[in-house]
Amino acid sequence: MEIVDLKYPVEDAIREKENLESKLYSRYWMIAGEGIVFLSLLSWVTYQTVKSIRKEMELARMQKNFLLSITHEFKSPLASIKLYLQTIQKHQLDRVKEHEFITKAISDTERLDTLVENTLLANQIDHKGYSFNLEEINFSALIRLVAQKYNSIPDFQQRIQTTIEDDIFINADKLALTLMINNLIENALKYSPPGTEIYAELKKEGDKIILKVADQGRGVAANERRKIFKKFYRSGDEQTRNTKGTGLGLFLAQHIARNHNGKISVSDNMPQGSVFKVTFSR
């Protein structure tokens, strides 16, 4: 009887089994890897989609707030100017009272002019239609003039104190720089309680020119310090907010600073409030 040696067939079967298991194992990890890549891509697409939707919703909310605020901001000074002029027209006022009403009407006109300039400049920036016309101007005199304008307003509930080095000159667009100063002061006034002081400081440090506008208001939360320079951004809801504004002032202040080789930042004032600092490199 012939004896069959089963050693080699068994070893071949074992090797074939091991090869099959190896192939199945490799295929399993290939499929798992493809699944992980697919899920990763799906997660990334989902994240980007949700992020885009949230961004659009936030922009829509800010635009809605802007439309609500700009309507109020334009109507308020117009109504005030009309009332002052009608009062002067219909009543025989003494010269002192008449002068006071005219001064208030002029103040509201200047406020309206600033709103118009902000809106037009923001639109021109969006369409890259504004060209900065640079000339050498006396920065010190310009800030004093703006501060004097606010301090001369009748019934002005705050005071602007200045610490300004004499004869600091800067190569700048006078209209844009005036608008930036106005916006920084308006922002400080807007969030400061009645009877408090706003501080404006201008000085040179080496090859830099530094402008600071400080208030004694509620301050800016750390998580909002980047957001406040975005166009239309204002914290809270326009229908319940007590402070005036359009959400363009600080956006324009940053844009104007950047176009004058400057950088704007905000920090805490002591014991309370905010300090807006603009650093110009010469």
- Contact status, residue 118 vs residue 252, Cβ threshold 8 Å: yes
Domain that holds residue 175: 135-281
What is the pLDDT, as a whole number, of residue 10?
59
Lowest mean pLDDT among 13-27, 69-83, 112-126, 202-216: 13-27
Beta strands in 24-158 (DSSP E): 135-138
CATH number at residue 219: 3.30.565.10
Q: According to the model, what pLDDT value does residue 261 have?
A: 93
Predicted confidence (pLDDT) at residue 11 exceeds the cutoff of 70:
no
Surface-to-core class of residue 58, CB atoms within 10 Å of its CB (0-12 exposed, 13-18 middle, 19+ buried): middle
- Look at residue 237 and tell me if it is in a domain: yes
Please count the structural domains in the chain. 1
- CA 91 from chain center: how many Å? 45
Other Cβ atoms less than 10 A from the Cβ of 261: the count is: 14
Q: Mind giving me the DSSP string for 150-202?
A: HHTSTT--SEEEEEE-TT-EEEE-HHHHHHHHHHHHHHHHHTS-TT-EEEEEE
Q: Name which of 151, 80, 76 is nearest 115 in CA terms.
A: 76
Tell me which amino acid residue 233 is: Y
| Domain presence at residue 58 | no
Which helix (H) or strand (E) is 16 found in, with range? helix 7-90
| pTM higher than the cut 0.75 | no
Predicted confidence at residue 240, as pLDDT, reads 38
How far is the CA of 256 from the CAs of 65, 139, 228, 280, in angstroms? 23, 15, 15, 11
